[in-house]
């Protein structure tokens, strides 16, 4: 598995924690920034990560900002992206099993690095269940694809 990760200035510490985790898990990743602690705009980081996932250049994306909300809103504008904003371990598992989420968003002003690490570990290792969930995910994909022809 290959992962693209990015954060704005509000998510740098958790980004570093998740990079350490992925090194320990032998998961290869590309870090798309941000490089500085001065204020940056989260769409400039969410959209490139989401594009990489949508194009199949990486398998998954992880985005961190202050709340995770801006990152998730931006990422979900990209066709094919199912970005889940997650701040608990139950949802980390459920969104992989039920939604086949391909991008994870978290907020550094909401949770600490320890919980973020556990969430990311679960999210990275849980498989999509398919089955009864497949039809639901397919309805989202079909709607998205129908917008292309409008």
Rule CB under 6 A: which of 61-120 touch ligand RB5? 65-67, 69-70
Q: Which is nearer to ligand RB5, 73 or 89 (CB)?
A: 73
DSSP codes of every residue in 82-113? -EEE--SHHHHHHHHHHH---EEEEETTTS-H
Rule CB under 6 A: which of 15-34 touch ligand RB5? none
- Residue whose tokens read 């598992």: 93
Q: Which is nearer to ligand RB5, 66 or 80 (CB)?
A: 66
Q: According to the binding rule CB under 6 A, does residue 45 interact with ligand RB5? A: no
Does the annotation count 98 as an active-site position?
yes
Does the annotation count 65 as an active-site position?
yes
Which amino acids are annotated catalytic? 65, 98
């Amino acid at each position: 598995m290959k992962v693209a990760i990015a954060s704005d200035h509000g998510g740098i510490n958790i980004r570093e924690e998740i990079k350490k985790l992925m090194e320990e898990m032998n998961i290869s990743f590309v870090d798309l920034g941000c490089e500085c602690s001065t204020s940056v705009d989260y769409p400039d980081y969410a959209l490139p990560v989401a594009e990489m996932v949508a194009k199949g250049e990486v398998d998954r994306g992880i985005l961190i900002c202050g709340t995770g909300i801006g990152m998730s809103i931006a990422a979900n504008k990209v066709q094919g992206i199912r970005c889940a904003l997650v701040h608990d371990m139950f949802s980390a598992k459920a969104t992989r099993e039920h939604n086949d989420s391909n991008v994870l968003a978290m907020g550094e002003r909401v949770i600490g690095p320890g919980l973020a690490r556990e969430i990311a570990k679960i999210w990275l290792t849980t498989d999509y269940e398919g089955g009864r969930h497949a039809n639901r995910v397919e309805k989202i994909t079909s709607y998205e694809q129908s917008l292309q022809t409008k």
